[in-house]
Each structure stands twice: as C-alpha cells, then as structure tokens.
Structure 1
Amino acid sequence: MADNQLLRIENLVLHFRTERGAVKAVDGVNFELNHNEAVVVLGESGCGKTSLAKALLRLLPRNVQAYSGKVFLNGNDVMALNDEEFRRNVRWQQMSLVPQAAMNSLNPVLRVGEQVAEPLMVHAGISKEKAMEQARKMFDLVGVPEEFLERYAFELSGGMRQRSAIAMSLVTTPDLIILDEPTSALDVLTQANIFNVLKRIKKEMETSYILITHDIATSSELANKVAVMYAGQIVEVCDAMRFFHEPLHPYSRKLMASVPRLRGDKEPDFIVGQPPSLLFLPTGCRFKDRCPLRFGKCDEEPPVVNKEGHLVKCWLYV
C-alpha cells in the first residue's frame, strides 16, 4: 500500500435478490483514494452509485444475495470484520455518510444539536455535555448559527439541514466522508455555498471525500480524481484535471458533451437510449448498445482495464 493511500477497493460486489433475479448493483468495482483527496463518482441514475456507498458502509438491506470483495481502509481489510466490529470501529469512526435528502435522514422529534452529538455519545462514549460542545464546534465549522442546535429539522431550511447533516458526519472526525448527492434538492446558490463549506473542511481537517453525483458541473469544484460508473462497474478513473479536458471512455465523452457551456455555440449533446437493466446485463461491453464507436469485439467479451495512470475499461485502448 502506498504511504498516502487511505482506501483501496478490490473487486467489490453487491447483488440484491429479487423475484425476477439478481440485481447486480455493484459488480466488481475497483479504485483507490489517498488521504486529503476527493474522488467524484459520476454516472446516470440507476448505475449503482448509492449502492456503492451502502456497500462501503455496510448499510445493507435484507435481500442481499452477494456481498464480497476487499475494502482496505488505512491498510486494514474492513470486509474481514464481523458486523459488530465494523459498527464499533469503522462506521462513523473512520468512515461516515452524508445521505441524500437531509430532511428524511434527520429525526423530526429530536433537536438537531442532539442528533449531531449522538455519534460521539454512542461511538466514543463521551458525556452529553462534552458531545454538545463538540457539536457546537461542528456547527460553527459548517456555518450554522449556534442557536440552531435547539431547533428541530422542520424549522431549518434545506441548506441548513444539509449543513447539519455534514456536521453530523464530521463530529467523530473520520478519515473518509461519503457524500451521496449532497446538493441534489437545493437551489444553485445554496449548492455553491455547500461546496465552499466542503472545500474549506477538506483543507482545514484534511478530510477525504467520495462524492457521489450525476452533476458534473458542481462536482468539478471539489474533485481531485474522477471515477465514472456505468451499469454497476467503474469504467474510467483518472486525475480530475485530465478527465474534464480529455475523457477517454465513450460514455465519459458523452457525459462531458452533455454539459452546457458558458462559452461557445456548441449545443449540449445527449446519449441515445438508456442504461441496461441491472437484472439483465448484456454480454460484452455494457455500454455497447449506446456507443457510437462500437465494433465487433464489443459484442464478444467484456473489455479489460488498460492505460497506466488513466484507467479505462474499453476495447479502444487495448
């Protein structure tokens, strides 16, 4: 493991059991993340991004059919831990989550300050008084007035609820925070403010992020690295600056071409068709039916990952 490496994922699999068959939501995912680094996971809705977050945090529903692979966090394979060891030593201690729709993740009958302090009382075993003091510091860090500690979630605006959820994820000072569409329900100005908060936290606390989103424009504000997900797999990983200027995978190129530009007359492009069902995945390349560069080998077998330093899962680069 590299000295600066925080996270390494090897062949991570998460399949769900349904009456129609197995949903292959995460199907052999591999990538790495360093300390004080942010990787943005891009992809359309239904490609498996949120399931990837659930797999990493072991927040699993009852209908799991397959769950395997290796997840090395600070050099330790946390997949080898039993559920109680993982809950006690990893989830919220080393790795936490900012979920979608903060209003739905906050308890409506508990004051927000108590909810932010709760992880410290549960996982660190400290007193409520000291936990509330730390919650107060986290509120200050994310830009929430101290008096909001005494309010309920329904008394806060969408932006303040999202900041509170970020404060909750930070209160135990984990090495890694997974952000699942943290600004999807917010207006553009509030989105910008939230991303400014995240950038400041990354700089001041040296926190690492996995940002799960389909919003390419806002994700570029935070990204050090980009991982593109399609049909349950990572199809491209590279440095963010290089990706935003020179994506290689045909799917990545189409995603970038769909972003409206402030300068230039070129109209945004679109991707024909829709992603394949995770129940019935095609043979060969999973993007082939929508790919303008498809050729014979794409139908025959799954492409392998190639190109050192800029990983891309496509037969064009083999």
Structure 2
Amino acid sequence: MPEKTLLRVEDLKLYFRATRGVVQAVDGVYFTLNPNEAMVIIGESGCGKSSMAKALLRLLPRNVHTYSGKVFLNGTELISMSDEEYRQQIRWLKISMVPQAAMNALNPVLRVGDQVAEPMMVHHGVRKEEALVQAANMFQRVGVPVDFLTRYPFELSGGMRQRAAIAMALVTAPDLVILDEPTSALDVLTQANIMNLLKRIKKEIATSFILITHDIATSSELADRVGVMYAGQMVELSDAHRFFTAPLHPYSQKLMASVPKLRSTVEPEFITGQPPSLINPPTGCRFAARCPLRFEKCDQDPPMFQHPDGRQVKCWLYEKEARS
C-alpha cells in the first residue's frame, strides 16, 4: 500500500435484516483517501452514505446480516479486529465522527465541557482537570466561548451545538473525521460559518475529512475529491475540480444539473423515477431504469472503469476510453 494512502476501502459490504428481506445498504464499495484530504460523498437519500460511515466506525445495529470487506487505516486492517481492539485502538483515537443531529448526539443531562473532555479521559487516561483544559482549547479553536463548557446542550444554539460536536470529534486529534450531514439542520449563514470552520481546521490540524452531504453547492467549498453513491454502490470517484465542472456518470451529471446556478438562465433539472429497492436491486446497472443514455449493455453490471484522466466511473459508456 502506498505510504501516502491514509484509508483504503476494498469491497465493503453492509447488509441489514429487515421484515421484507435483506437490505443491501452498502454493496461492494471501493475508495481511497489520502492524508489531509477532504472527500465529499454525495447521493440521494437512502443510497447508503450514512450506512457506509457506520461501517467504517463499526457502529453496527443488531440486525446486521453481512459485514465484510477490508478497511485499511495507515496500513492496519480494521475489519478483522475484535470489537474491543477496535474500541481501544481506533474509534475516536484514529477515526471520529460528527453526527447529523448534534442535539441527539449530546447527552442532555451532562455539561457540554464534560462531554468534550470525556474522550481524552477515556482514551488518553488524563485527569478530568487536564481534559477540561484541552476541551477549552478546542472550544476556542472551533469558535465556542470557553464559558460554554459549563452549559448544557439545550442552552446552546444549533450552530454552537454543532461546533461542540466538532470539538468533541477533534479533541483526540484523530487521523480521520467523518461528518454526516453536519449542516443539514442549520440556517444558511450558520452553514457557511461551519464550512469555513472546517476549511480552517483542515489547514491547521492537517486532519482528513469524509463529508457526507446532500448539499452539493456547500460541499464544493471543502472538497478535494468527490465520491458519488447510488443504490449502495460507489458509481464515480473524481477530483473535485473536474467533478464540479464535468462529471462523468449520467447520475452525477443529473445531480449537478439539479443544482440552481446564480448566474444562469438554465432551469434546474430533475431525475425521473425512483431509486431501486435495496432489498432486491436490479442485476445490471442500478441507474439504468432512470438513465437517459441507457443502451443494451446496461443490463449487465458494469465494473468501475479507470478513465484516462485518472477518474473512476461505473458506467459502460466509458468502456472503450478505459481500455484505450
């Protein structure tokens, strides 16, 4: 494995048992992430983005049917670790997470400062007084007044709660932070402030991010690379500049066409139809039923093709270019 690769995910699968069958939430996902790199994962609701984040952190519910594949972090394979090894060596030390709803993640009956200090006490064994000092330093870094350490979550605004959740994820200086829709419940101005905060932290702390979001416009501010998920699979992997200017996969093109543009008279488009059921997904290309460029070969499941410019795309349209 190249030394510059921080995270390598190979054939990651996460299936859940449900009343009507087995839900293939994450179905054979591959990607890599480099140090100090921000990767944005986009796609429609239900495509498997949050399930993939839970698979990386091994925050698995009881109804797991299949959990397999390989996940390497700095060369160490994580899937084969026992739950206790992963808890002690990886979770919140090497990989942490900012959840979608900070109010749900923070304990309402504990002071915010105690919750941000707790990872230092548990994983580094520092005393509470020292941990609170480090929590105060992290509060200053993320723009939360230090006196908020003694407040309870319900006393903070939505933006301040989100900043506190970011502080809690960063306090142990992990190599990778996964952010699951960190701005979805915030107003537009607060969203912009949070994204500016993440850009500054990325420069100061040299931490890698995986940002899961529906907000394509906001995500472009932070992204170095983009991964597009559809129906449990990764269908495109690209550097941010080329993705936002000229995406390859028909689904990616439709996503970008749905974004309103400030200085354009072209009306946003929409994608007809519905995503396929993950309990019984189609055998061929999973986007074929909604794709305006569908042809006969789309009845077969395409591999992930390597485009000549280095991007990867799961679409038969690029078979000849990849071979050449």
Q: TM-score, normalised by structure 2?
A: 0.97
The code of the aligned residue for 2:265 comes to D
Measured against aligned partners, the alpha-carbon deviations of 1:145-165 in whole angstroms (never above 9, x if no partner) come to: 000000000000000000000
Q: Which residue of 2 aligns with 1:37?
A: 37
Where 2:6 maps in the other structure, the secondary structure is strand
Q: Does 1:188 align with 2:211?
A: no
The code of the aligned residue for 2:162 comes to Q
Q: CA RMSD in A?
A: 0.6
Q: After superposition, where does 1:1-318 map in structure 2 within 5 Å?
A: 1-299=1-299, 301-308=300-307, 309-318=310-319
CA distance in 1, matches of 2:222, 2:274: 28
Identity %: 70
User: What is the CA-CA distance between 1:307 and the residue it aligns to?
Assistant: 2.3
Measured against aligned partners, the alpha-carbon deviations of 1:67-110 in whole angstroms (never above 9, x if no partner) come to: 00000001110112100000000000000000011001100000
Where 1:36 maps in the other structure, the secondary structure is coil
| Number of positions where the alignment pairs a residue of Structure 1 with one of Structure 2 | 317
Measured against aligned partners, the alpha-carbon deviations of 1:149-189 in whole angstroms (never above 9, x if no partner) come to: 00000000000000000000001000000000000000000
CA distance in 2, matches of 1:58, 1:128: 27
Measured against aligned partners, the alpha-carbon deviations of 1:181-238 in whole angstroms (never above 9, x if no partner) come to: 0000000000000011100100000000000011100000000000000000000001
Name structure 1 gaps, 5 residues minimum: none
CA distance in 1, matches of 2:4, 2:132: 33
CA distance in 1, matches of 2:182, 2:274: 24
CA distance in 1, matches of 2:51, 2:83: 18
CA distance in 2, matches of 1:142, 1:49: 26
CA distance in 2, matches of 1:283, 1:316: 18
User: What is the CA-CA distance between 1:264 and the residue it aligns to?
Assistant: 1.5
Q: Which 4+ stretches in 1 moved above 4 angstroms?
A: none
The code of the aligned residue for 1:311 comes to Q
User: What is the CA-CA distance between 1:124 and the residue it aligns to?
Assistant: 1.1
